[in-house]
Amino acid sequence: MTKPKNDLLLRAIKKEPIERTPVWLMRQAGRYMPEYRELRKTAGNFKSFYKNVDLSVKASILPYKLLGVDATIIFSDILTPLEPMGFNFEFREGEGPVFLDPIKSPEDINRLKPLNVEDVKYVGEIIKGVNEQLNRAIPTIGFCGAPFTLAAYMIEGKTSKDFKKAKAFMYDYPEDFKNLLNKLADSLIDYLSFQIESGADAVQIFDSWAGHLSPDDYKEFALPPIKKIIENLKEKHPETPIIHFTKGVAGFLDHMITSGAYAYSVDWMIDLKTVKEKVFPDAAVQGNLDPIVLYASKDVIRKKVIEILEKWGKDSGHIFNLGHGLMPDMEFEKVKFLVETVKKESVR
Among 87, 163, 191, 206, binds ligand 1CP (CB under 6 A): 206
Among 78, 192, 242, 263, binds ligand 1CP (CB under 6 A): 78
Among 32, 64, 99, 143, binds ligand 1CP (CB under 6 A): 143
Give the amino acid at 10: L
Among 208, 246, 259, 346, binds ligand 1CP (CB under 6 A): 208
Q: Which of 115, 152, 127 is nearest to 246 (CA)?
A: 152
- Minimal distance in Å, beta carbon 55 to ligand 1CP? 11
- Is the omega angle on the peptide bond into residue 232 within 30 degrees of 0, that is, cis? no
Q: How far apart are the first and last CA of the chain?
A: 29
20 binds ligand 1CP (CB under 6 A): no
295 binds ligand 1CP (CB under 6 A): no
91 binds ligand 1CP (CB under 6 A): yes
Catalytic residue (one of 31, 119, 122, 173): 31
What whole-number distance in Å separates Cα of residue 213 and Cα of residue 208?
11
Between the CA atoms of 146, 143, 190 and 214, what dihedral angle is there, to the nearest 10 degrees?
A: -10
Catalytic residue (one of 20, 27, 290, 295): 27
Q: At what angle do helices 53-67 and 332-345 cross, to 10 degrees?
A: 60
Stretch that binds ligand 1CP, among 29-37, 232-240, 255-263, 278-286 (CB under 6 A): 29-37
40 binds ligand 1CP (CB under 6 A): yes
31 labelled catalytic = yes
Stretch that binds ligand 1CP, among 27-35, 182-190, 261-269, 306-314 (CB under 6 A): 27-35
DSSP codes of every residue in 123-173: HHHHHHHHHHHTTTSS-EEEEEE-HHHHHHHHHHSB--SS-HHHHHHHHH-
Among 35, 46, 186, 302, binds ligand 1CP (CB under 6 A): 46
Q: What is the helix (H) or strand (E) element at residue 179, kind and residue range?
A: helix 174-197
What whole-number distance in Å separates Cα of residue 219 and Cα of residue 304?
32
332 binds ligand 1CP (CB under 6 A): no
Q: Tally the residues of the chain.
A: 348
192 binds ligand 1CP (CB under 6 A): no
Nearer to ligand 1CP, 115 or 203 (CB): 203
What whole-number distance in Å separates Cα of residue 275 and Cα of residue 137?
30
Nearer to ligand 1CP, 97 or 199 (CB): 97
Stretch that binds ligand 1CP, among 26-34, 99-107, 229-237, 269-277 (CB under 6 A): 26-34
Collect all residues with Cβ–Cβ distance below 8 Å to 89 and sequence separation of at least 6.
Answer: 79, 82, 83, 97, 98, 99, 100, 153
By rule CB under 6 A, what string of x and - marks binding of each residue 96-115 to ligand 1CP?
xx------------------
Among 11, 20, 31, 334, binds ligand 1CP (CB under 6 A): 31
- Residue 206 has phi, psi (to 5 degrees) of -95, 105
Catalytic residue (one of 11, 20, 40, 302): 40
Q: Which residues are catalytic?
A: 27, 31, 40, 77, 153
Q: Which residues bind ligand 1CP (CB under 6 A)?
A: 26-31, 40, 46, 73, 75-78, 91, 96-97, 143, 159, 206, 208, 324-325
